[in-house]
Amino acid sequence: MWAEADRPREKLLKQGRHTLTDSELLAILIRTGTKDLTAIDVAKKILQECKNDLLELSKLSVNDLINKSKGMGEVKAITIVAALELGRRRRESEGRKKEQITTSKDVFEIMNSKMSDLIHEEFFVLMLNRANEVLHLYPLSSGGMAATVVDPKMIFKAALEYRACNIILCHNHPSGNPKPSQEDIKITKKISEAGKMIEINVLDHIVIGGNNYFSFADEGLM
């Protein structure tokens, strides 16, 4: 039996949610442990499997959690996945409040919640007006672990439909390394040159890897 001061629920009520560790917060979701392990023990083991990285934890499916963790049933796994999805949607809502793009960091803050925990590549195009206000986040393509197909014709067809004057390209690297590949550099140049012909400016290409990003514009590659 835990001492009352160590019980996560009581600790949250008496000291506030910010005082709890990741394992204590996770234990509240798990609720009960096993014959040999407390809920906190189960939570610690789950986090250890994810190298104590909540981003890695958010990538796990219900079946992943059940298979990785002793004492983790379907209901507990669903509860954890649902809680993490709520957190992701909260970050996404915060991102949507930024309507105008002034720096590469603005793009990162809008798109990171959509891309940081993906295990496959996705490519988005931010459609902007003349004031660089976001008109639409256009999901261009979704691919595999290493690449996604990018068709410049589809980008500019959509840009014309949304009456965008400027666009920003954005995709993720599931590996966590945001450094652009040679193919990334090549396709960025191709899209940028095509945009000049129809007077739609490609302002930047943001590559997101984990919680970091690479900006072509910041690095002088546009």
Q: Which residue has the higher pLDDT, 142 or 168?
A: 168
Share of the chain above pLDDT 70, in %: 91
Domain residues for the domain of 21 are 4-92
Same domain as 162, residue 103 = yes
Residues contacting 98, CB < 8 A, separation 6+: 106, 109, 110, 134
CA–CA separation, 166 vs 159, rounded Å? 8
Structure token pair of residue 4: 């009352």
What is the rounded distance in angstroms from the CA atom of residue 124 to the CA atom of residue 114?
10
Task: Report the alpha-carbon distance of residue 199 to residue 113 in Å, rounded.
Answer: 30
Asked whether residue 139 falls in the same domain as residue 37, the answer is no
Looking at the structure of the chain, the number of domains it has is 2
> For residue 181, what is the domain's CATH number?
3.40.140.10
Q: What pLDDT was estimated at residue 96?
A: 56
User: Do 142 and 194 lie in a common domain?
Assistant: yes
Please report the sign of the dihedral spanned by the C-alpha atoms of residue 187, residue 206, residue 159, residue 115: positive
Residue 34: strand, helix, or coil:
coil
**Segment 108-136 mean pLDDT:** 89
**Lowest-confidence segment of 31-35, 69-73, 142-146, 185-189 by average pLDDT:** 142-146
Q: Clarify whether residues 123 and 61 are in a common domain.
A: no
Q: Is residue 50's pLDDT more than 60? A: yes
Proportion of the chain above pLDDT 90, given as a percent: 52
**206 in Cβ contact with 170 (< 8 Å):** yes
Amino acid 15: pLDDT: 82
Q: Is residue 220 part of a domain?
A: no
CATH code, domain with 26: 1.10.150.20
Same domain, 149 and 179: yes
Q: Is residue 166 part of a domain?
A: yes
Q: Does 222 map to a domain?
A: no
**Structural domain contains residue 75:** yes
Does residue 48 sit in the same domain as residue 134? Answer: no
Whether residues 132 and 171 fall in one domain: yes
Residues 59 and 115 grouped into a single domain = no
**1-47 pLDDT, tens per residue?**
555 445 888 888 888 888 889 999 999 999 888 888 888 888 999 99
Do 110 and 74 lie in one domain? The reply is no
